[in-house]
Amino acid sequence: MSAPYVTYMRWDENGDAVTNARQQFSKKMFDTVYDSVFPIVESKYADKVQFIFRQQIQPWHPASTLVHEAGAAVLQTQPDKFWEFSKALFAKQESFFDANIVNETRNKSYERLAKIAGSVGVDEKKVYGLLEVSDKPDKDGSTNTGNGKLAVVMNSLRGFSSRPLTGLK
């Protein structure tokens, strides 16, 4: 499973924003934010701090598209459950690593992802309905539903690249 990115700001001593950096999210980082930071922010700074979780599909990880499409389906179905779904997905992330789904059909992976959504109270059938790939092509011959295309385009407009960094020393 690939990691989403989190964007954060840093301020100088005058309160001026000096950086807009991005950090690749890992399960460890997500768990820390979800379990330790969120409760403090929600109780003390709810009107001052907003977390934005931007999903970033990493095309060099085939499973990345699947898990991020599932996140998008949860956002479309029940947006208030997105963080809870993400927590449950990170808990099961290893079962979605590329090597672990290589022999599984795409729709079977989507079924498992929809089941995770169902485990946090999201309508499992509705999520699967948004994800399922038909075996009947569209008029143009395509079976790709393009569920992740909008996320990639929007992130590109914000400076998030879907290309791996290669050749860096």
Q: What pTM was computed for the model? A: 0.71
Query: Which domain does 9 fall in, by range?
Result: 5-137+148-157
Domain count, the chain: 1
Nearest partner of 149 among 59, 22, 24, 23, judged by Cα: 59
Per the domain annotation, does 169 fall within a domain? Answer: no
pLDDT at 91: 92
How far apart (Å, rounded) are the C-alpha atoms in residues 151 and 72?
Answer: 8
Nearest partner of 81 among 35, 30, 117, judged by Cα: 117
Strand pairing of 53-54 and 5-11? Answer: antiparallel
Per the domain annotation, does 108 fall within a domain? Answer: yes
Per the domain annotation, does 142 fall within a domain? Answer: no
How far apart (Å, rounded) are the C-alpha atoms in residues 131 and 126?
Answer: 9
Per the domain annotation, does 167 fall within a domain? Answer: no
How far apart (Å, rounded) are the C-alpha atoms in residues 78 and 115?
Answer: 14
- In the structure encoding, which two tokens stand for residue 164, read together? 């791996």
Is the pLDDT score of 26 beyond 70? yes
Is the alpha carbon torsion for 17, 41, 67, 62 positive or negative?
Answer: positive
pLDDT in tens, 99-142: 899 999 999 999 999 999 999 999 999 999 999 988 887 777 76
